Each structure stands twice: as C-alpha cells, then as structure tokens.
Homo-oligomer: A and B are copies of this chain.
Amino acid sequence: MKRLGPLNALYPTPTTLIGTRVEDKPNFITIAHVGIMTLNTVSLGMNKVHYSNAGIKANKTFSVCLPSVDLMVKTDFCGIMTGKKTDKAALFDVFYGELETAPMIRECPVCMECALERVVDFPNYDVFVGEVRQTYAHESVLTEGALDIAKVRPLLFDMSSKQYWGLGGVLGNCWNVGKALKQQKSE
C-alpha cells in the first residue's frame, strides 16, 4: 500500500451549522469536523480563532443544525464569513427551544439543542462536547414518525476533494448482513 503521510482520511462527515449567541446576537458557523462520542453526545472541533467559541463558553449551549443539500450555498457562505463582521443569522428564520440560548434555523430539516458537557482543550482547537437535549425536525423528513436520512438529504464534507457530497443509497442492514458469515463460520 502507498504511504500518504499522516493524512486524516476520516471523511465524509456531516456538514453542520452551529448556532450560538455571541455579544447578545445569534450567530451560525459551518463546522464539519464533528463527531459522536456516546449515544447522545456530540463533539465539534473548532479552531480557537472562531467568533463562536466565546458564545458557547459563555452560554454553555449550542445548536447543531443539519442543512439539506438545498442549503449548500448559504451553508458555504456561513463557512466563509465571520460573525465578527457579518450578520449571518439574517440569512435564516431563527428560532429558540428549551435551552433559550441556542439559536436554530427553521430552514434546516433537523436541529439539535445541546448543553455543553465539557470542553476538550487542544493547542489551537476547542473541542466542544454537547449533550443532545431536544431535537426538532420538519414533518417532511419523517417516515412513520422516525427520522428518514434519505429525506434529510444531508450535505456531506470531504477534505481531500474540498467538495460537498450527497448521500447515496441503502446498502444493507446493520447488525444483520454479517449474520450470514457468522452462520457460515459456525457450520
């Protein structure tokens, strides 16, 4: 196999719009360096230069809004512009939920309100760990009451290509398709 050097290849990741209140105003930043830590705990890897970090630290809340592919241009704009100079919240219909200080975007098909659980500190990055407290979704992305990722149409991010990608089709059932091999091994 070919050595590529220490290249992070853990893509694609979902592109998110993170909602915070900074200087008493709602702000949104595009973050795709996200993760899942426990079943109900998510992480955001955010460079310390960003305007949003202070808002998360002050309010101890943030939102994670999932734009669909239709919101690609606005989402990319929120990744290019800084809240220091641009009112990015003006692009969206903003609403608040139970935590009151985590602004969310009504145009996003799914939004999660998170309470800051801890900050994992790195030299140039704050990794914000949030516990999901409430999740809001458009009725149009539910199938029989459950979230349907095909209807969400998430905007995926890949660093190598520096491109946004769509979701493809279903390949198989988890904790299931491997059973055939289990059966075969036990024969």
State how many angstroms separate the Cβ of A45 from the closest Cβ of chain B. 4
A181 and B141 alpha carbons, distance in the complex (Å): 27
Provide the residues of chain B in CB contact with A3, threshold 8 Å. 134-136
Residue A125, interface by CB 8 Å: yes
Provide the residues of chain B in CB contact with A133, threshold 8 Å. 6
Whether A132 and B6, one on each chain, are in contact in the complex, defined by CB atoms closer than 8 angstroms, is yes
Provide the residues of chain B in CB contact with A136, threshold 8 Å. 1-4
Per-position binary interface string of chain A over residues 141-171, scored 1 when its CB falls under 8 Å from any chain B CB and 0 otherwise = 0100011110010111110111111111111
Nearest B residue (CB) for A41: B122
Whether A164 and B158, one on each chain, are in contact in the complex, defined by CB atoms closer than 8 angstroms, is no
Listed by A's residue number, 18 A-B pairs whose Cβ atoms lie within 8 Å are A10-B16, A10-B112, A11-B154, A13-B13, A13-B36, A33-B37, A72-B171, A74-B178, A74-B181, A77-B182, A120-B120, A149-B160, A156-B167, A156-B168, A161-B170, A162-B174, A163-B174, A165-B169
A139 and B2 alpha carbons, distance in the complex (Å): 6
Given the known inter-chain contacts A4-B135, A76-B177, A178-B80, please indicate yes or no for A166 contacting B169, CB distance below 8 A: yes
Nearest B residue (CB) for A174: B162
Provide the residues of chain B in CB contact with A139, threshold 8 Å. 2
Provide the residues of chain B in CB contact with A154, threshold 8 Å. 11-12
